[in-house]
């Protein structure tokens, strides 16, 4: 009997698909059934060869060998870490009883590329169809398997994905070598990335703006009325009037302390604010960064787990903020699935507390292009809760606190679009004293909280906390009303430096300049942070350029670090995806630019003292006490660079929920133990103190007495 081979992207997704397809015979690297065989990749099984794997002469970095370029057909290689699973897939493809293949990888540009490169290197000649699933629930998978796509639909997507991969390879390899040899004199490796270098430039630029900023004090005059609200002194253009010194503001108050003022202008405006658009990954990362301090990587990790492991969230790596009409037809079932999370009787809770949720209100939402618009759906629709009959049990008993936080944000945003508008009355009045001094008051009266009741327990946004916006103004106030001053007072302020980029605002920054995609932004940030010689660090939720990062950016020519670089390339990639530009045209242009830029680098006379660069790499260097090799700061721990040779020294960032400082890590490495440290947390609650010691097996243990 002929069979169909299904290739998923990960083992967990493969197991879900095998269950849906009735496959139960577990074997090494795949699960087989009567009609289907389900296997899986483990992320990337195939990558691009290093330059020296093409040509031995390129093992040594030399200027005369730049630039280089290799055809994609000869550039693919099996990655050694996952070679075993690649061979499993290859053997399954070559089985005589396999009729055709279903590409069931992640539905998107990079997921599609992973699969196509596997088939190419495996020598596949069999037909391939494509599964495009928005979630991994049984129902969604059954629907996707009954609506397979033809491979020909994705020809341009493959060209776009390969152009992205080859462009990044060409620029990264050629510029890293060129910068290292020309600007670093070959003594310090200067890594280049098409996305990460412009991002680093923006972070370094902000560092410099803050360092150069000189704060200037200024002073405002405010009034509080006996009628119960406040105002601020403004000029004839209704702009806030400021004073350069406290004395000037005090003199003003002293000379203008009039008790009565007359309302010369009073306006009211009814404002209705609909719920925000649904989340895409970038918006979710920004919200979780702002609300909980999660970095982009952590939010993506939680969302991926909710999608892949728990199956209560749709595909997370999406750029869309809207639903498709196909999804909208099933929206009532999505609501039924998620409502129990908010109450034992979700429908009653919605009706009593948040307004009536009826078929009419649902239909009204579906008609809104702000929420449902096929033209604005990219590879995947916005993030929404899935149709899962076990959602309440999963939410209550299986999610970690971080997963629960992420899911609730998505669920609230989803529910919000079905609730009524946030409605308020915006009030603006101007009051004038006998000396013709003008005071501005802004206030609002909430008439209907609407969708905002979902966020009643959240901390108010800063914009809603201003005294002017929160003034409660009596309805009896109108033009010509006489107001009575209760007191005048001065507010001391100063100009503020630009804010450092936070775990939230850095995503907005990357979106603005089209640096990366929802699928790649977290990894771009990580490459800058967790390399052997970090270019940036994260301190208290803010990003700073390291000394190496600052010196590196000073070395890189403007074109290679411009924040507009990535937007230019993304436009070309989109043109390939739309069939308006060929991959070869783009790559030929890229290679010409690389050659021209390398020549400009060679002709450049300006060089920085590379001792500065070497010092920035070496000044805080730590060494392994067992093998003498360098200790690097990784994503989750400090680790020895000799791990490939078997060294097991690894120091976690946290021990018993206490974060170790670099000084304490240095003590462990150089002295074998720390002093007494406070703040370790007991499992049963409370804290304790102890020393830490580094054992011969490379592990860290508590030391309660010497």
Q: pLDDT for 587-632, tens place per residue?
A: 999 999 999 999 988 887 666 555 555 555 555 567 788 877 778 7
Residue 636 has pLDDT above 70, yes or no: yes
pLDDT above 90 coverage of the chain, percent: 60
What per-residue confidence (pLDDT) applies to 464? 41
pTM: 0.81
Give pLDDT tens digits for 660-706: 887 888 888 888 889 888 888 887 778 888 999 988 777 888 888 66
Q: How many CB atoms lie within 10 A of CB 125?
A: 8
Confidence of residue 352 (pLDDT cuts 50, 70, 90): very low
Tell me the C-alpha distance between 443 and 452, whole Å: 18
Distance from first CA to last CA of the chain, Å, rounded? 71
**Average pLDDT of every residue of the chain:** 88
Identify the pLDDT of residue 667: 86
- CA 702, distance to chain mean position in Å, is 36
| pLDDT on residue 680 | 87
> Would you say residue 355 has pLDDT above 70?
no
Q: Verify whether residue 315 is a known catalytic residue.
A: yes
pLDDT value of position 375? 84
Q: Is the dihedral of CA 463, 467, 470, 471 positive or negative?
A: negative
pLDDT at residue 607, rounded to an integer = 64
- Mean pLDDT value across residues 476-505: 94
pLDDT on residue 612:
56
Q: Which residue ranges form the domains of the chain, and what is each CATH number? A: 3-44+79-147 (3.40.50.140), 163-212+502-614 (1.10.460.10), 217-274+422-494 (2.70.20.10), 281-416 (1.10.290.10), 622-703 (no CATH)
Q: Residue 231 forms beta bridges with which residues?
A: 223
For tokens 């009883």, name the residue. 97
Average pLDDT over residues 256-268: 90
Q: What is the pLDDT of residue 631?
A: 80
420 pLDDT tier (thresholds 50, 70, 90)? confident
Question: Averaged over 261-271, what is the pLDDT?
Answer: 94
298 has a pLDDT exceeding 60: yes
**For the ranges 60-64, 114-118, 347-351, 434-438, which has the lowest average pLDDT?**
347-351
Residue 606 burial (10 A CB sphere; 0-12, 13-18, 19+): exposed
Distance between CA atoms of residues 237 and 230, nearest Å: 19
Does residue 393 surpass a pLDDT of 80? Answer: yes
pLDDT for residue 467: 38
Is the model's pLDDT at 484 over the cut of 90? Answer: yes
* Residue with more model confidence, 580 or 360: 580
Query: How confident is the model over 559-564, as a mean pLDDT?
Result: 93
102, 117, 89, 142: which is closest to 3 by C-alpha?
102
> Quick one: angle between helices 155-182 and 109-121, nearest 10?
90
Q: Read off the pLDDT of each residue in 471-479 and give the average, rounded to a whole number.
A: 85
Q: Which two tokens stand for residue 76?
A: 């693919």
Highest-confidence range of 9-18, 89-98, 314-323, by mean pLDDT?
89-98
Greatest mean pLDDT among 339-343, 494-498, 701-705 lies in 494-498
H/E stretch holding 408: helix 401-416
Whether 98 has a pLDDT exceeding 70, the answer reads: yes
Residues 107-135: what's their mean pLDDT?
92
Q: What is the pLDDT of residue 518?
A: 85
More confident residue, 450 or 430: 430
pLDDT band at residue 539 under the 50/70/90 scheme: confident
Residue 519's nearest CA partner among 203, 192, 164 is: 164
Q: Which pLDDT score, from 0 to 100, does residue 517 have? A: 87
Mean pLDDT of 18-45: 95
The confidence band for 414, taking pLDDT boundaries of 50, 70 and 90, is very high
pLDDT score of 67 more than 70: yes
Q: How confident is the model at residue 653 (pLDDT cuts 50, 70, 90)?
A: confident
Rounded to 10°, the helix 196-212/547-555 angle is 110
Mapped onto helix, strand or coil, the DSSP state of residue 138 is helix
Residue 162 has pLDDT above 90, yes or no: yes
Q: Considering the chain, what percentage of its residues have pLDDT values greater than 70? A: 93
Residue 505 scores a pLDDT above 80: yes
- Which has the closest alpha carbon to 439: 227, 641, 650, 632? 227
- Is the per-residue pLDDT at 476 higher than 90? no
What would the mean pLDDT of 646-654 be, rounded to a whole number? 84
pLDDT, position 29: 95
| Range with lowest mean pLDDT among 372-381, 408-417, 438-447, 563-572 | 372-381
Q: Tell me which residue has tokens 């803010």.
A: 542
Pairing of strands 30-32, 36-40: antiparallel
User: Active-site residue among 192, 315, 422, 543?
Assistant: 315
Distances in Å between the Cα of 93 and the Cα atoms of 26, 103, 124, 615, 652 are 17, 12, 7, 53, 42
């Amino acid at each position: 009997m002929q069979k169909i081979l299904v290739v998923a992207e990960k083992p967990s997704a493969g197991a879900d698909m095998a269950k849906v397809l009735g496959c139960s015979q577990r074997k090494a690297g795949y699960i087989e059934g009567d009609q289907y065989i389900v296997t899986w990749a483990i992320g990337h099984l195939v990558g691009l060869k290093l330059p020296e794997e093409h040509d031995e002469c390129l093992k040594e970095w030399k200027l005369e060998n730049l630039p280089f370029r290799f055809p994609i057909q000869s550039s693919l290689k099996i990655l050694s870490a996952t070679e075993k699973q690649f061979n499993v897939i290859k053997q399954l493809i070559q089985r005589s009883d396999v009729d055709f293949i279903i590409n069931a990888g992640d539905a998107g540009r990079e997921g599609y590329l992973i699969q196509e490169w596997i088939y190419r290197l495996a020598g596949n000649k069999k037909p391939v169809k494509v599964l495009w699933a928005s979630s991994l629930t049984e129902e969604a998978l059954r629907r996707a398997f009954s609506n397979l796509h033809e491979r020909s639909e994705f020809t341009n997507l493959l060209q776009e994905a390969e152009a992205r991969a080859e462009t990044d390879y060409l620029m990264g390899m050629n510029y890293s070598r060129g910068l290292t040899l020309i600007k670093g004199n070959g003594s310090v490796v200067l890594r280049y990335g098409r996305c990460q270098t412009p991002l680093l430039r923006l972070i370094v630029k902000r560092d410099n703006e803050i360092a150069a900023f000189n704060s200037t004090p200024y002073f405002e005059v405010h009034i509080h009325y006996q009628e119960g609200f406040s105002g601020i002194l403004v000029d004839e253009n209704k702009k806030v009037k400021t004073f350069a010194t406290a004395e000037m503001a005090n003199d003003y108050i002293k000379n203008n302390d009039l008790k009565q003022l007359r309302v010369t202008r009073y306006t009211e405006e009814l404002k209705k604010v609909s719920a925000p658009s649904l989340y895409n990954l970038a918006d979710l990362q920004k919200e979780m960064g702002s609300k909980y301090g999660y970095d982009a990587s952590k939010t993506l990790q939680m969302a991926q787990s909710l999608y892949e492991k728990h199956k209560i969230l749709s595909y997370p790596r999406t750029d869309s903020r809207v639903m498709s009409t196909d999804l909208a037809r099933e929206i009532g079932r999505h609501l039924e699935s998620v409502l129990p999370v908010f109450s034992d009787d979700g429908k009653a809770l919605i009706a009593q507390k948040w307004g009536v949720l009826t078929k009419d209100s649902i239909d009204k939402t579906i008609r809104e292009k702000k929420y449902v618009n096929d033209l604005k759906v990219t590879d995947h629709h916005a993030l929404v809760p899935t149709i899962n009959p076990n959602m309440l049990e999963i939410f209550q008993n299986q999610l970690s606190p971080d997963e629960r936080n992420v899911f609730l944000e998505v669920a609230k945003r989803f529910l919000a679009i079905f609730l009524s508008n946030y409605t308020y009355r915006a009030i603006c009045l101007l009051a004038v004293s006998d000396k013709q001094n003008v005071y501005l008051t802004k206030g609002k009266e909430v008439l209907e909280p609407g969708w905002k009741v979902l966020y009643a327990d959240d901390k108010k946004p800063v914009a809603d906390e201003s005294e002017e916006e929160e003034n409660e103004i009596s309805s009896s106030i109108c033009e010509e009303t006489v107001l009575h001053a209760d007191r005048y007072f001065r507010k001391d302020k100063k100009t503020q430096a630009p804010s450092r980029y936070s775990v939230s605002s850095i995503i907005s920054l990357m979106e603005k300049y089209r640096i990366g995609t929802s699928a790649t932004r977290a990894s771009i940030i990580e490459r800058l942070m967790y390399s052997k010689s970090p270019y940036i660090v994260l301190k208290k939720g803010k990003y700073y350029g390291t000394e190496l990062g600052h010196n590196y950016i000073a070395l890189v020519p403007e074109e290679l670090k411009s924040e507009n670089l990535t937007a230019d390339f993304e436009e070309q990639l989109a043109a390939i995806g739309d069939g308006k530009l060929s991959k070869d045209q783009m790559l030929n242009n890229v290679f010409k630019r690389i050659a021209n830029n390398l020549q400009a680098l060679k002709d450049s006379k300006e060089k920085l003292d590379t001792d500065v660069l070497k010092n920035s790499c070496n000044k805080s260097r730590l060494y392994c006490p067992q093998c003498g090799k360098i200790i690097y700061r990784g994503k989750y721990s400090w680790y020895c660079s000799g791990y490939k040779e078997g060294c097991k020294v690894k120091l976690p960032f946290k021990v018993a929920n206490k974060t170790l400082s670099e000084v304490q890590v240095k003590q462990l490495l150089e002295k074998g133990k720390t002093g007494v440290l406070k703040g370790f947390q007991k499992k049963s609650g409370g804290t304790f103190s102890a020393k830490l010691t580094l054992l011969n097996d490379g592990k860290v243990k508590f030391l309660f007495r010497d």
